[in-house]
Amino acid sequence: MPSFWENLRFSGGNVDQPGQSYDENEGSENQDMVLYVSHPPPSAGSNFPAIIVVQEAWGVTRHIEKVCDRIAQEGYVAIAPALFHREHPNPKL
């Protein structure tokens, strides 16, 4: 059985560029889990500690993306997984 990291693939962005990119992971039940990833620029090095940013009730919003971007400016890789990716896109709260 492949590990999580073996299934991780990048789309929608070049990971060599500073800032953010959208990642997709082959999730269970054949559904992709979208991750928002922000990382320091390559000029800062290549090996960074990571922080998982937990989404708010509405998912990975622009606010959560900005939080990830600010964390990346401090020298960390910030990852915000869309934890409710199997649910309806507009949950009723």
Backbone angles phi, psi at 33, to 5 degrees: -100, 125
Q: Give the dihedral sign, CA 3/56/39/75.
A: negative
Query: Which positions ≥6 away from 76 have C-beta within 8 Å?
Result: 40, 48, 49, 50, 51
Give how far the C-alpha of residue 81 lies from the chain's centroid of Cα atoms, to the nearest Å: 5
Q: What pTM does this model have?
A: 0.65
Identify the pLDDT of residue 80. 92
pLDDT tens digit string along 48-65? 899 999 998 888 889 999
Distance CA 18, CA 91 (A): 32
pLDDT tens digit string along 16-41? 444 444 545 444 555 677 888 888 88
pLDDT band per the 50, 70, 90 thresholds, residue 82: confident
Give the chain's largest Cα–Cα span: 43
Domain boundaries, the chain: 4-81
Percent of the residues in the chain that have a pLDDT greater than 70, as a whole number: 56
